[in-house]
Amino acid sequence: MLAPKARGSLSEQVLAALTSGQVSPTLRDVEPDGPEDAQVTLWSLYELHYRGFEDVDDTLEWHPDLLAVRAGLEAELEADLRERCPEVDLGDDFAAGLFSFIEQHDGPSVARFVQRDATHEQVMDLLRWRSIYHLKESDPQAWVVPRLSPGPKAALMELQYDEFGNGDPQLLHAHLFAQGLAASGLRPDYGAYIDEAPVEVLEENNAMSLFALHRRLRAASLGHLAAFEATSSGPSRRMSRGLSRLGFPAEMSAYYDEHVEADAVHEQLAVRTIAGAVVAEDPSLVQDVVLGAFTCLDLEDRFAEAALARWGAVDA
Amino acid sequence: MREPTPSPTPTVVMCPGGPMLLRGKHVVEDADGNLHETRRPVSAVCRCGKSALQPWCDGTHKVLPERDRP
Ligand code: FES
Ligand SMILES: [Fe+2]
Ligand SMILES: [Fe+2]
């Protein structure tokens, strides 16, 4: 993919530095114009660690001046996420406590709207926005693997192996989504729709990278994973029904159908054998799990509100 | 630093209020006598009877009132 378009002064200067290779230490003094500028800059810097950009030199991935800009943006994002997150007591039974914390969280649902009311055009918007994460589905959590002890490590790999197609690239979840996009007449290539991704999508993406790239935040990454998996089966079923209602091709529904079944397994693994095992070994990590889980739910609420507002819709 | 020793991994796990997890390859016979092969490292077999994807769990147990959960 090509580097995204700038959305303000900071992203303009950082993206210019990336594409020209002329990186100056003064970049770290540039203030972002606002959240959109900050998030697209952070997204672009993170992307250097995933697949990179065709128009950016690969050696910039570890450039100290770019890492300094990234660190500043990360500190602000992390402070925001922590400030939004309530203190939660999960009780003595970690798995039951985490499941019930996630179940009790109530927010607007894009999937419910898609099932019943969305137009074809609105679902096409949604698929383009979702493509930013679904085309790199489970990639962030792969960074957490080497930071875990044997129990949680083996458990996370058991889940990831399923996300990555059980050895068959055709079944890789990101690939299923790409096939759905192509069949729906959308571009299946990685990052194709980054320039139209709303700031809420960028923030969802960046939070996952933040948690996954910092070892000290590994439990937040796993808490995020747990909440993500535990809010997937039901919404995926509603998405699939909405897609069928609107006549979308079978390849697109297949991605969601797979998630109804897979995530009914993954939620149990993520809560019990992965996050549960990490917390059993080190109970001081519970609050980080909560931070990750809450962030997942809260950022999805923000995305849903923004998406529904943009469509002039309400989730009834 | 000593890593904690992982305990032996069970092949069958009963999830309180939820499905039964099956680790590895199994053939599951559903209530109508149809056979279903597992096709993931771990599969979740519905125990609440309400899944629309029998014999697999589809998360429906979570919307059941507490007393109807397995
Ligand atoms: S146990 Fe999950 S749907 Fe029945
Ligand atoms: Fe997936
Ligand atoms: Fe999953």
Could you tell me where in chain A the CATH 1.20.910.10 domains are found? 89-310
B40 in contact with chain A, both atoms CB, cutoff 8 A: yes
Give the whole-number percent of chain A exceeding pLDDT 70: 99
Q: Which of B6, B39, B43 sits opposite A150 (nearest CB)?
A: B6
A234 in contact with chain B, both atoms CB, cutoff 8 A: yes
Cross-chain residue pair A151–B39, CB shorter than 8 Å: no
| Paired tokens of A210 | 């933040």
3-state secondary structure labels for all residues of chain A: CCCCCCCCHHHHHHHHHHHHCCCCHHHHHCCCCCHHHHHHHHHHHHHCCCCCCCCCCHHHHHCHHHHHHHHHHHHHHHHHHHHHCCCCCCCCCHHHHHHHHHHHCCCCCHHHHHHHCCCHHHHHHHHHHHHHHHCCCCHHHHCCHHHCCHHHHHHHHHHHHHHCCCCCHHHCHHHHHHHHHHHCCCCCCCCCCHHHCCHHHHHHHHHHHHHHHCHHHHHHHHHHHHHHHHCCHHHHHHHHHHHHHCCCCHHHHHHHHHHHHHHHHHHHHHHHHHHHHHHHHCHHHHHHHHHHHHHHHHHHHHHHHHHHHHCCCCCC
Give the whole-number percent of chain A exceeding pLDDT 90: 98
Amino acid at B31: A
pLDDT value at B1 more than 70: no
Q: How far is A274 from chain B (nearest CA, A)?
A: 12
**Whole-number CA gyration radius for chain A:** 19
Pocket of ligand 1 (CB under 6 A): B 18-19, 46-48, 50-51, 57-61
A171 in contact with chain B, both atoms CB, cutoff 8 A: no
**Which one, of A219, A237, A238, A210, lies nearest residue A299 by Cα?**
A210
Amino acid at A313: A
Give the domain A89-310 fold. Answer: Heme Oxygenase; Chain A (1.20.910)
- pTM for the structure as a whole: 0.97
Q: How far is A160 from chain B (nearest CA, A)?
A: 10
Cross-chain residue pair B41–A99, CB shorter than 8 Å: no
Question: How do beta strands B27-29 and B20-23 pair?
Answer: unpaired
Task: Look up the ipTM and state it.
Answer: 0.94
Q: What is the pLDDT of residues B25-63, one digit of tens each?
A: 999 999 899 999 999 999 999 999 999 999 999 999 999
Ligand that comes closest to the CA of residue A267 = 3
Residue of chain A minimizing CA distance to B45: A265
pLDDT of residue A145: 98
Mutate which of B20, B22, B60 to test ligand 1's pocket (most atoms within 8 Å of Cβ)? B60
**Mean pLDDT for the stretch of residues A309-315:** 87
Query: What is the band of A170 on the pLDDT scale with cuts at 50, 70, 90?
Result: very high
pLDDT of residue B8: 83
Q: Residue B21: its chain A contacts at CB < 8 A?
A: 265, 268-269
